[in-house]
Amino acid sequence: LLELVNYIEHYGLKRKETAPGKFEKVLPIHSWNQNFAVSNSFLFHLQRHSDHHANAGRRYSALRHFEESPQLPYGYEVMILIALVPPLWFRIMDGRLEDWRRKHYGVSPMETAFEK
């Protein structure tokens, strides 16, 4: 379950290499976020994962939502079930990932600038 949640929180998001072996600082835009009240209540704000990246020492109960972070379309309980059906996961998430890459890096979906 832990690795499934890790997959959901970070699916397809990469930091840009700024120099050989050096990558941009971890920012809230480098993890998927979600801000549904019911899910956050049951999961201790775990879905505000971007704030955990920005402020690793902050208690989960105090995590904030970052609107600029990529947003999951559903709560974790639904996303976990969707992730268990890869074709459905890709159909739902790949478009969001492409939009995020274009917005933050100006990269078309087929380019691999993240890995250069």
CA distance 17 to 83: 28
CA distance 33 to 47: 6
pLDDT at 114 exceeding the cut of 50: no
CA 106 to the chain's CA centroid? 18
pLDDT digits (tens, 9 = 90+) for 9-58: 889 988 888 999 999 888 888 888 877 666 656 555 555 566 666 666 76
Ramachandran region, residue 97 (left: φ > 0; alpha: ψ -120 to 50; beta: rest): alpha
Domain locations in the chain? 2-115
CA distance 99 to 84: 23
